[in-house]
Amino acid sequence: MTATPLTEPVVLSRGRVHLVPLDAAHADDLAAAREGLEYAWYTAIPASVPDEISWRRAEHAAGRMNPFAVLVDGTPSGMTTFCGIDEVNRRVEIGYTWLSPSVQRTDVNTTAKLLLLGHAFEACEAIAVEFRTSWHNRQSQAAIERLGARRDGVLRNHRISPDGTLRDTVVYSILPHEWPGVKMGLEARLAR
């Protein structure tokens, strides 16, 4: 079997959740979905959805990202991506994810992660899938750990934020031999 490229546009579906290639046509619905999101200083939400879509599509064209719109019951309700793509080494990060408040704390994020991880490991034959978050984002760290990812370490002074503060980034990963157990855990959460 030949591995599917991590950058190849695909549609991933399970139940009411569909991950589709991000397109400018999603802009109005995604702008509406963004309403009511409140983020702490250590996280980011796009100020302009059309600009964010353009940036993500440009990153896709450059081979660094594979962006998806998250559709719930057919309505665009957020974004997620394969990012930091390293095709040669079959490594990828899942990130740049945000979801409408209306679908947070539902099965949507778990389903999206199950779809992305399954595609990365089973179709693309990834050797590692990473997750990254701010040192200060304890909620995100807990969510990543609940997925079954293992903490690799902290990249200190990893990035300069738009406001000039320095961000320490916590890095997690899942490896192919861990995927079956992670998959069973996600399936069990969705079955509840």
User: Over the stretch 95-153, which tens digit does the pLDDT of each residue have?
Assistant: 999 999 899 889 999 999 999 999 999 999 999 999 999 999 898 899 899 999 999 99
Q: What percent of the chain has pLDDT over 90?
A: 84
Helices 108-118 and 138-147, packing angle to 10 deg: 60
Enumerate the H helices of 70-178 as residue ranges.
108-118, 138-147
Mean pLDDT of the chain: 93
38, pLDDT greater than 80: no
Cα distance between residue 27 and residue 161, in whole Å = 25
Instruction: Write down the pLDDT at residue 177.
Output: 98
Instruction: Write down the pLDDT at residue 181.
Output: 97
Instruction: Write down the pLDDT at residue 44.
Output: 67
pTM given for the model: 0.94
Contact 131, 115 (CB under 8 A): no
Handedness of CA 43, 47, 49, 50 (dihedral sign): negative
Instruction: Write down the pLDDT at residue 189.
Output: 94
Our CA dihedral for 48, 79, 176, 159, rounded to 10 degrees, sits at: 20
